[in-house]
A and B are shown apart, each in its own frame.
Chain A
Amino acid sequence: MARVKIDNYAYANVPRLGFVGWLRWIWRQVTSMRVALILLILLALASIPGSVLPQWPQDAANTQGFIDENPFWGPLLDRLGFLDVFGSAWFTAIYLLLFASLIGCIIPRCLVYWRELRAPVPPAPTRLDRYEPVTASAPQGARVVMRNAEFALSPEVSPRSGERGGRQSRRLVHRPRLWRWFADYLIRVDERERRGDDADSELALSAHKGHVRELGNLIFHVSLVAILIAMATGSMLTYRGQALIVVGDTFTNAVVAYDSYESGALFSEDQLEPWTLTLDDFEAEFDLVGLPTEFTAYATLTEPGQEPRQVETQVNRPIQVEGAKIYLQGNGYAPVFTITDADGNVAFEGAVPFLPQDDVYTSTGVIKVPDVTSGEQLGFTATLLPTAVVDGDTAQSLHPSPANPVIYLQAYTGDLGLDDGVPQNVYELDESQLSPVRGDDGQPLVVEMQLGDTIELPDGLGTVTWEELPRFAAFDLRRDPTLPWLLGSAIAALVGLSMSLFAPRRRIWLVAPLKPHAGRKTTVVEAAAWAPAHDTAVREELERVLVAATGRLTEAAPTPEER
């Protein structure tokens, strides 16, 4: 064999691993339990930054803010993937390695398990001394004892008491084989020569349990792989969109109608079903201090080729439509404005969703009026206070209900920047080419409006009328056809996990001589059990089996002298 020299220059006699050898070596490392353990710990550690640092997919605005605030660390962390931990290369590497390790571990184990299932139970050890044996003497012969023990370990029938015609009855019920396989011991009984006595022979019963535990373990790990596959497939077949619908408006399921839309690689936009959803009404209930108690959206859903139907949705009750679900995610106010320009033409008319900024629905919105007939474009930023209370110079909202709605409006003129071709956020005004409209004092003008008011902008720029205050509801729409598979895998994982942790792994052995002891009429049965350290109930089970087999309680183990 190879001779290893502890010498800097001589490794000649050590066999070279070669490419395949290295691959095999790597594979063996990856599939070892120790590496799996380290990968698990790494996975836990790697997840933590995802909860501490702002993450792009969860909160893009906050993440951008973080980068802007930390000119050194921000971009560095971003480049290293710390701002999108769960999509980063290193996180993916860890969990892919972990799953490689998992698959490399369970495939051989499945094969071994398959072989073990078909293999007979190993016979009882010839010496039970190692397992702290106990003895019991029985008046019956060894064969009867073993039959009793077998029945106690895995009864073919079990008594079931029930009521028949008002009378208590007990009858024997055949237990299904599958259930016996699941719940009972696998048993073998051997007739063999007695150790140290060629003339005498003995019966040795060997009962094993533990195949369910291993089965559960395999089911659990296979289910984890199934969960990962379902998640990966789901991310390719899914689409998700967000839409904001003002009460009275109708939404048509098409990509252009969504405020934001994304879909997996294998989902094409033609697959969107052209149903429509009309938001008929939206009810928001709050308690006295302004905490929400219930949100309900009433809508009419029209699916192609079907009668329109009334649907109702709440936060925890999504609408089901054509394999997708529509979730109520948010709500707010969408004041309706009519804006005329300097020439008196209506330049804007419609509802403008205002985004709530806090629990009392202090909401901000932006109105962009590009289509003026002459002069410069108009832009407005506005703040809505649903229940405004003015205290000196400051005003604030006390409650999210529209008890005293007030809007503070600030007007801008100039170029809205809409013609650059760069997509703009509809909730923000690009002020770079705009100048605020100033009042007589030269300060930017802030106008207070009540519902129904019409204000005139200075310098004859036009008028703004606040017509109505309807609510809007924000909906999320998701389709993920793999959800049932995911749920099934998760349930299987849970069942497998429970089986692998709670199904006992036990061995029970009974040995009895076929001929009674010389001078005695009883059969002395020696019995022992083995189980992992945490399973303390195995002794009780052994006792139960012995009592069932011999009708006696166990006696103290014989001391060496007595033997």
Chain B
Amino acid sequence: MNAQELSWLALWGAVALYAIAMVASSIHLARVADAKVAAKTRAKAAVAAGGVADERPAPASALRAGSEPEVRVRSRAAGIAKSTTLVGAILNGIGVVARGIEAGHAPWSTMYEYTITGTFVAVVVFLIVQSRRDVSYLAPGVTGFATIALGIGMTVLYEASTGLRPALQSFWLVVHVSIAIIATGVLIVGAVATVLQLMRDYRDSGTAWLQRFRWIEAVPEPAKLEALAFRLHAVGFVLWTFTVMAGAVWAEHSWGRYWGWDPKEVWSFVIWVIYAAYLHARTTQGWAGRRSAVLALIGFVALIMNFTVVNIFFQGMHTYA
């Protein structure tokens, strides 16, 4: 088996495992939602009966803090989701490394290579956050995104590896593109958290069509999700700033100008400005919460646009893929 076959098999394996992880984590999320709803109903019943004494610890503390009851659900689905995500990420990593060995350079020069590395980073970022606190409610979104992105990468975007063209033979390929990919991975996880935040927020305030999705109960309150999303977006924004700056240094080095409003540069700038607006909106009265979350999602859409539409349809100096 050569590196190409290894990469191919490992990546398909990763797609399959991510798909399983998505299903398993969704089942787990539904269980958590059930348990939470049950706990809430119990707490309400206890309050209604005036009997604080008999069930004191859990509901009392929950009511005092004004937050939700803590529920711990152990399900087999959670275990399956965890292990498949981990093994999937390892296979994904093997796929990326094998592709790099096959190509003979850092595998970041085509859309296919960007996709397989980007999914890997997104899942790894999720696993890192997961190792610090329980964010299993992000799992369906992240693994679902990873399944789709990697699947599209394997079927549509695949290109046989080639040597690097002269414009890309630079140390800055490693710096600029790798940080861009890492930023993308972090922002993907941040966007998932923001989507959940908005869904939970609108469901809580009575939006009709969201009432059907009981699983939303399993995610934390909007304020907590906002805090998590902000931390991820802050990291992503700093990395994106670095990407743009490193790109400018490389452009100065290679094209003789640090900024030339090439379509990719325009969109990188647009993304940067939108996320900057998001960070400002968070601290502006009337914009904090929902509006700022929407801005973050618009930024994410621009990020995906930059990778897809701009790469495929716009002619510019970044068209390598």
Residue picked from A40, A493, A498, A536, most chain B C-beta under 10 Å: A40
Please classify how large the interface on chain A is, using the bins under 10, 10 to 19, 20 to 34, 35 or more.
Answer: 35 or more
Q: Which residues of A contact B202 (CB under 8 A)?
A: none
Quick check: which of A45-53, A371-379, A402-410 contacts chain B, the rest being far away?
A: A45-53
CA distance A295 to B257 in the complex (A): 20
A350 within 8 A of B: no
The residue that A476 contacts in the complex, of B256, B266, B267, with Cβ under 8 A, is B256
B8 within 8 A of A: no
**Chain A residue, CB-CB nearest to B302:** A44
CA distance A41 to B256 in the complex (A): 30
CA distance A315 to B169 in the complex (A): 8
A127 within 8 A of B: no
Q: Which residues of A contact B302 (CB under 8 A)?
A: 44
A27 within 8 A of B: no
Q: Which residues of B contact A295 (CB under 8 A)?
A: 166
State how many angstroms separate the Cβ of A473 from the closest Cβ of chain B. 12
Q: Which residues of B contact A48 (CB under 8 A)?
A: 266, 270
CA distance A292 to B169 in the complex (A): 11
B166, A292: Cβ atoms under 8 Å?
Answer: yes
A156 within 8 A of B: no
**Which of B230-273 touch A at CB < 8 Å?**
230-231, 234, 237-238, 241-242, 245, 248-249, 252-263, 266-267, 269-270, 273
A47, B266: Cβ atoms under 8 Å?
Answer: yes
Taken residue by residue from 97 to 124, chain B's Cβ proximity to chain A (1 for < 8 Å, 0 otherwise) reads as 0000000000000000000000000000
Given the known A-B contacts A36-B280, A50-B266, A86-B261, are A287 and B314 also in contact in the complex, defined by CB atoms under 8 Å? no
CA distance A36 to B273 in the complex (A): 12
B75 within 8 A of A: no
Q: Which residues of A contact B242 (CB under 8 A)?
A: 494
B45 within 8 A of A: no
B162, A287: Cβ atoms under 8 Å?
Answer: yes
Quick check: which of A147-155, A444-452, A483-491 contacts chain B, the rest being far away?
A: A483-491
Q: Which residues of B contact A61 (CB under 8 A)?
A: none
A314, B252: Cβ atoms under 8 Å?
Answer: no
B90 within 8 A of A: no
Q: Which residues of B contact A491 (CB under 8 A)?
A: 245
B255, A291: Cβ atoms under 8 Å?
Answer: no
B169, A534: Cβ atoms under 8 Å?
Answer: no
State how many angstroms separate the Cβ of B315 from the closest Cβ of chain A. 8
Please classify how large the interface on chain B is, using the bins under 10, 10 to 19, 20 to 34, 35 or more.
Answer: 35 or more
Residue picked from A34, A44, A292, A497, most chain B C-beta under 10 Å: A44
B238, A316: Cβ atoms under 8 Å?
Answer: no
Q: Which residues of B contact A289 (CB under 8 A)?
A: 162
Given the known A-B contacts A51-B266, A314-B166, A533-B223, are A37 and B287 also in contact in the complex, defined by CB atoms under 8 Å? yes
State how many angstroms separate the Cβ of B61 from the closest Cβ of chain A. 10
**Chain A residue, CB-CB nearest to B283:** A33
State how many angstroms separate the Cβ of B202 from the closest Cβ of chain A. 20
B163, A47: Cβ atoms under 8 Å?
Answer: no
B81 within 8 A of A: no
State how many angstroms separate the Cβ of B277 from the closest Cβ of chain A. 4
A240 within 8 A of B: yes
The residue that A501 contacts in the complex, of B238, B253, B261, B283, with Cβ under 8 A, is B238
State how many angstroms separate the Cβ of B88 from the closest Cβ of chain A. 28
B252, A291: Cβ atoms under 8 Å?
Answer: no
The residue that B166 contacts in the complex, of A36, A51, A316, with Cβ under 8 A, is A316
State how many angstroms separate the Cβ of B292 from the closest Cβ of chain A. 9
State how many angstroms separate the Cβ of A15 from the closest Cβ of chain B. 26
The residue that A478 contacts in the complex, of B231, B257, B263, B287, with Cβ under 8 A, is B257
A318 within 8 A of B: yes
B263, A294: Cβ atoms under 8 Å?
Answer: no
CA distance A487 to B224 in the complex (A): 38
Q: Which residues of A contact B310 (CB under 8 A)?
A: 51
B41 within 8 A of A: no
B273, A536: Cβ atoms under 8 Å?
Answer: no
Q: Which residues of B contact A497 (CB under 8 A)?
A: 237-238, 241
A501, B257: Cβ atoms under 8 Å?
Answer: no
A318, B253: Cβ atoms under 8 Å?
Answer: yes
The residue that A294 contacts in the complex, of B166, B234, B245, B267, with Cβ under 8 A, is B166
**Which of A212-234 touch B at CB < 8 Å?**
231
Taken residue by residue from 527 to 541, chain A's Cβ proximity to chain B (1 for < 8 Å, 0 otherwise) reads as 000000110100000
CA distance A453 to B223 in the complex (A): 80
Q: Which residues of A contact B312 (CB under 8 A)?
A: none
B165, A44: Cβ atoms under 8 Å?
Answer: no
Given the known A-B contacts A40-B273, A315-B167, are A55 and B261 also in contact in the complex, defined by CB atoms under 8 Å? yes
Given the known A-B contacts A86-B261, A287-B162, A478-B256, are A33 and B284 also in contact in the complex, defined by CB atoms under 8 Å? yes
Q: Which residues of B contact A50 (CB under 8 A)?
A: 261, 266
CA distance A33 to B258 in the complex (A): 30
Sampled A-B contacts (19; CB under 8 Å): A34-B286, A34-B287, A37-B277, A37-B281, A40-B276, A47-B273, A50-B266, A51-B263, A51-B314, A55-B261, A291-B162, A292-B165, A315-B166, A316-B169, A325-B256, A476-B255, A486-B258, A494-B245, A534-B226
Given A40-B276, A58-B262, A477-B256, 16 more pairs with CB closer than 8 A: A33-B283, A34-B286, A37-B281, A41-B274, A44-B270, A47-B273, A51-B316, A57-B261, A85-B261, A292-B165, A314-B166, A316-B166, A316-B170, A493-B241, A533-B223, A534-B226
Which 10 A-B pairs rank lowest in CB-CB distance, beginning with the nearest? Answer: A534-B227, A51-B266, A327-B256, A51-B263, A40-B277, A315-B166, A316-B170, A44-B273, A476-B256, A501-B234
